[in-house]
Structure 1
Amino acid sequence: MDNAVEDILTTTTVETSTTKSVQPIRAKDETTQRLLEAARDGRLEVLQQQQQQQQQHYQSTKGQNNNKLLREVTCTSGCTLLHWAAGANQIRILEYLTGTGTVKTQHDNEETKPITDPIFDSVDCPIQHRKAQGRTPLHYSCRNGHLETTRWLIQRGANPHHKAKHGVTPFQLAVWQNHLAVCRYLVQECHVIPAHEINDFDCGPFHWLGIAPVERANFNNSNSENNNSENNNCGTGDSSYEDGRDLLPLAEWLAKQQPNVDVTKKQRQGHSALHKASWGGHLALVQYLHIHFDMMDDTPDHAGNYAASLADMAQTARHDTVARYLRTECSVERRHSCALLGVPLEATDVEIRRAYLQKARELHPDKQQQQQPRDGTTTPTTENHNDDETFHQIQRAYKHLMEEQGRGTQRNPAHSLPLMLQLANNNNNNNYNVIAAGEDTINDQISDDGSSFFKAKLLAVLLEYGDKGMDVSNIKKKWNQVWGVPFPEPKPNQNRKNKKKSSLSDLLLERAGDVIRVDRDRVTGTIKVFCKQCSRETVVQASARG
């Protein structure tokens, strides 16, 4: 999984005013928080009162911009009053902030007058904060599906093509949050071209759609807390509701109505849309990609993860369902077995059995013997051997499809603890008996805090990022994803002279310094951990040797 992309895509600094549980706004002080909440909740009187107080404070200063303080109000993520109002669909607040609306006079609540002193001169107000750098109010109105606000911003000069950090555009965020109406508006009225909507990681529209949040992928399910029947589908609310089915209208619109959108495109880390949809746990979208675009789980990403591997790492029931589908319906092994029997991938059990019986009658060794010439001559031995082998291949293919449901073996070899133990201890013969004992035996010994097990698991985790190295802050999270257990906290060392708590990087070096190295970026100060010798290539080679 491309974790840099994942971090960007999961940044949620704006919540809609209709969300049931609104996350608190984080700000540097109570006054700032109160003003931002007023913009989000549509409480215009709070902003007016603050502006009046500022005007009274600076009334003796000629030429002083009385709105400077309001313009500089931001949350800890860098979002201004304008961003929060746009993200919460508060057009009245936007009008007030940009001087395009009217306000009530102090003397008569029924009388209104135009705003002549705007707080913001432009609706395009990019965030300066590092994580969401460059995002404008339009990014958030599109992200939250507010078509009316999106139209209002565009009509007042908002740039629909504006690229924020990592090349993120308003359209990409609308796709990610599955807002078909907003996507249509941007394409039809603002000349956005979906085929050109590629971010700096080479992620296209289908990559974004694949990692849509679960509540946005299933909003028509009446069991969902966020049911809103947006795309006019009929939600059943039953337990058979397939995860991700509400993504299909947008998927079909992109694939069938938008020219040159590359559904099968792979991004920089080797992820296809199938990888992303599997990581998102969206079974219906995975099925759509497989059935309509013949996408198979036959190619790992640059970290060695198949789509099924990513689904495994998510560790939820719906992801388990996706992983099973990928292994039974989208594997290379299933395609091979179907090809041997001459049946399509979607063949039913009846069709598979019929095809097998026909080929068995043609290739059965007994029938071949019955066809031997009566004059006593024999056919070449190699030909008989080839016929026998073909018959046995047909038998194996039939058994694979009928008894094993065509199950494949997609798995990242680096997630095999026996293999990683071998690589971590390639100069130590003491562990070979453990390796030979198999994975079940090793899993029974996971509680052993020995350095061999720790090193093997750590190397597998680091290989998720390849030669780029992994930010030390991500190690614990990725450890849990790869191995399904929490990162092992160190045991207290009574003999350690320095009683001060060690940093995670120090602990990693202490326990695995012979197989890893730790570097600090001089510019950003980020600490990254690298494998010293083990690489994706060495894992693949070791796996191939068996």
Structure 2
Amino acid sequence: MVRKKTTPNHADVLEAAKTGDLAFLEEASADRLLAAIDAHGCTALHWAAGSGHVECVKYLVSQDLDPSQKQTTNGRTPLHYAARNGRTEVCRLLIEVYQVQADALADADVTPFQLACWQVQEEVMRYLASRHDVDCGRVNDFGCSALHWIALAPSTVEVDAHLRCCTWLEEVIDGDWSLTNSQGHEPLHKAAFSGHLHMCAWLVEAKGRREVPDAHGNYAADLAREGGHDNVAQYLATTAAPDREKLAAKLAKLSGTRVDASDAASLTKAFRQAALLHHPDKSGDARVFDDCVQTYRKLVDGVPGNPLRDPDRIGSLLGSSSSKFARFEAKLLVVLLEQPSGLALGSLKKRYQRAFPSDHADFPEPKDHGYRKLAHLLRKECSNSCRVDDNCILHAARAKSDVERLLLLDGGDPSPPPPP
């Protein structure tokens, strides 16, 4: 649970710590230095450490600021910020001089080493890994290892440095790139969501990873689309398809030619040859010809998207509706099916826009309704998709297992069960 933020106090002190203005800090009273805190609970020492100002760190510790103090929103210490921002000298000072825990745990058991991996701070990563009191292979409360963190690197990361650190990290922790976290995400899922085509390609081509669904049925390609990275999604859906090599071998047998599964031109050439050999108009076998077509289409289309993320198919389960919110209702159910413990109304817009990054115009803006009116609207207009409890927590009105069963129906009655 996120702790309540506080109003920033003594912002000028925090700014001085951020910019390294030691003279200003020395002129400030000890009470002001101790009282300076930002909206997230970070002290002046957090800011000085994260900004890499060694002398400011030394002075603030001499004025009784605690070098191990955790900030209030997620429990991170000055060392966490120094590691995250690549401040190796400050990390050494905090650990070796002030004896802070090198493997200090923030909320959810997040460590300084994990944050250094997330930001690909290579020098800090190597320094922390060299210490016997740092567990580089630690898995946090969400089931994420350092491999997941490094896959979430910023979009600005330098490609060569990123891949070099991935290779190094794998050796340091004897890493398993198939490790899944509590959401069922492998590092491949994280790299896809972050838009790292270079890392996805490395994991697929050098490490043999292939598409697998997460706990909600989403493939890495689905998460790439969610992050707005269509080029990554296309690569993963095709090249990383788990049965691609087998399908390519089948097409090669049908065509009597060699097939390179990674080369679109090779696949097209083989399909044309197979079609000439087996087309019914050429005295071929219609069933074999259909098999050629299906095999080729699977190679071209790749891994199908998660049907639970298809608002059109979900909408068909809800039946016809004259409500102007019909399409929103279908999308709403898509979002809520991935929130088994419920979703706070205040978080709905962000989660909705993340699920539909290029198609969220149907969302009824809270500013047009107010949250109380929006909750009432959901109860009245979207009861087929959503239940709203007394605490304004949203829940899917249909069980995920029921929706999955209906989506897989081949014929039969597609009408959905009544909402609980």
Q: TM-score range by the shorter chain?
A: 0.7 to 0.9
Task: Write out aligned runs for 1:511-522 (5 A).
Answer: 511-519=381-389
Task: Write out aligned runs for 1:502-541 (5 A).
Answer: 502-519=372-389, 527-532=392-397, 534-541=398-405
Aligned with residue 43 of structure 2, among 80, 83, 87: 80
Q: CA deviation at 1:188?
A: 1.1
1:311 aligns with 2:209: no
SS in structure 1 of the partner of residue 11 of structure 2: helix
Q: CA deviation at 1:328?
A: 2.2
1:126 aligns with 2:106: no
Preserved contact between residue 332 and residue 408 of structure 1 (Cα < 8 Å): no
**Alpha-carbon separation, structure 1, partners of 2:315 and 2:39:** 44
Q: CA deviation at 1:360?
A: 9.3
Task: Write out aligned runs for 1:304-453 (5 A).
Answer: 304-315=217-228, 319-332=229-242, 334-341=244-251, 346-348=261-263, 389=287, 393-394=291-292, 396-397=294-295, 399-400=296-297, 406-425=300-319, 430=320, 450-453=324-327
**Alpha-carbon separation, structure 2, partners of 1:473 and 1:501:** 8
1:283 aligns with 2:177: no
What does the per-residue CA deviation read over 1:406-450, in whole Å, with 9 as the maximum and x for residues that have no partner? 33143121222232112223xxxx56xxxxxxxxxxxxxxxx962
- Mark the CA change 1:351 to 1:423 in structure 2 (over 3 Å): closer, same or farther: closer
Preserved contact between residue 311 and residue 323 of structure 1 (Cα < 8 Å): yes
What is the aligned partner in structure 2 of residue 488 from structure 1? 364
SS in structure 1 of the partner of residue 394 of structure 2: strand
Aligned with residue 464 of structure 1, among 308, 322, 338: 338
- Which residue identity is paired with 1:248? L
Preserved contact between residue 308 and residue 410 of structure 1 (Cα < 8 Å): no
**Alpha-carbon separation, structure 2, partners of 1:356 and 1:501:** 55
**Alpha-carbon separation, structure 1, partners of 2:61 and 2:317:** 62
- Mark the CA change 1:503 to 1:186 in structure 2 (over 3 Å): closer, same or farther: farther
Q: CA deviation at 1:336?
A: 3.9
Aligned with residue 348 of structure 2, among 475, 486, 491: 475
What is the aligned partner in structure 1 of residue 418 from structure 2? none
Preserved contact between residue 33 and residue 75 of structure 1 (Cα < 8 Å): yes
Aligned with residue 301 of structure 1, among 200, 214, 228: 214
- Which residue identity is paired with 1:510? K
Q: CA deviation at 1:284?
A: 0.3
- Mark the CA change 1:423 to 1:364 in structure 2 (over 3 Å): closer, same or farther: closer
1:543 aligns with 2:387: no
Preserved contact between residue 331 and residue 407 of structure 1 (Cα < 8 Å): no
Preserved contact between residue 152 and residue 194 of structure 2 (Cα < 8 Å): yes
What does the per-residue CA deviation read over 1:58-81, in whole Å, with 9 as the maximum and x for residues that have no partner? xxxxxxxxx344223211110011
Q: CA deviation at 1:261?
A: 1.4
5+ residue gaps, structure 1, are: 14-25, 52-66, 100-117, 219-243, 370-383, 432-447, 494-499, 522-526
Preserved contact between residue 145 and residue 179 of structure 1 (Cα < 8 Å): yes
**Alpha-carbon separation, structure 1, partners of 2:368 and 2:121:** 51
- Mark the CA change 1:136 to 1:338 in structure 2 (over 3 Å): closer, same or farther: same
Q: CA deviation at 1:331?
A: 1.9
What is the aligned partner in structure 1 of residue 168 from structure 2? 253
Aligned with residue 145 of structure 2, among 179, 204, 208: 204
**Alpha-carbon separation, structure 1, partners of 2:52 and 2:74:** 20
- Which residue identity is paired with 1:537? S
**Alpha-carbon separation, structure 1, partners of 2:31 and 2:188:** 48
TM-score (norm 1): 0.65
5+ residue gaps, structure 2, are: 253-257, 411-420
Aligned with residue 213 of structure 1, among 142, 154, 176: 154
Task: Write out aligned runs for 1:166-177 (5 A).
Answer: 166-177=108-119
Q: CA deviation at 1:249?
A: 1.0
- Which residue identity is paired with 1:538? D
- Mark the CA change 1:491 to 1:422 in structure 2 (over 3 Å): closer, same or farther: farther
- Mark the CA change 1:456 to 1:86 in structure 2 (over 3 Å): closer, same or farther: same
Task: Write out aligned runs for 1:85-104 (5 A).
Answer: 85-99=48-62
Deviates more, 1:68-77 or 1:482-491: 482-491
- Mark the CA change 1:489 to 1:176 in structure 2 (over 3 Å): closer, same or farther: same
SS in structure 2 of the partner of residue 145 of structure 1: coil
SS in structure 1 of the partner of residue 92 of structure 2: helix
SS in structure 2 of the partner of residue 78 of structure 1: coil
**Alpha-carbon separation, structure 1, partners of 2:371 and 2:348:** 18
- Mark the CA change 1:541 to 1:332 in structure 2 (over 3 Å): closer, same or farther: farther
- Which residue identity is paired with 2:195? G
SS in structure 2 of the partner of residue 529 of structure 1: strand
Q: CA deviation at 1:247?
A: 1.6
What is the aligned partner in structure 1 of residue 18 from structure 2? 40
**Alpha-carbon separation, structure 2, partners of 1:481 and 1:282:** 18
Q: CA deviation at 1:539?
A: 2.7
**Alpha-carbon separation, structure 1, partners of 2:217 and 2:182:** 14
- Mark the CA change 1:89 to 1:411 in structure 2 (over 3 Å): closer, same or farther: same
Q: CA deviation at 1:92?
A: 0.4
Q: CA deviation at 1:41?
A: 0.8
CA RMSD of aligned residues (A): 3.3
**Alpha-carbon separation, structure 2, partners of 1:245 and 1:277:** 15
Larger CA Rg, structure 1 vs 2: 1
Aligned with residue 129 of structure 2, among 187, 194, 205: 187
**Alpha-carbon separation, structure 2, partners of 1:396 and 1:517:** 41
- Mark the CA change 1:502 to 1:356 in structure 2 (over 3 Å): closer, same or farther: closer
Preserved contact between residue 142 and residue 170 of structure 1 (Cα < 8 Å): yes
Preserved contact between residue 261 and residue 267 of structure 2 (Cα < 8 Å): no
Aligned with residue 181 of structure 2, among 257, 263, 267: 267
Preserved contact between residue 18 and residue 47 of structure 2 (Cα < 8 Å): yes
TM-score (norm 2): 0.84
**Alpha-carbon separation, structure 1, partners of 2:150 and 2:374:** 35
**Alpha-carbon separation, structure 1, partners of 2:189 and 2:59:** 44
- Mark the CA change 1:344 to 1:272 in structure 2 (over 3 Å): closer, same or farther: farther
What percent identity do the matched residue pairs reach? 31
What is the aligned partner in structure 2 of residue 377 from structure 1? none
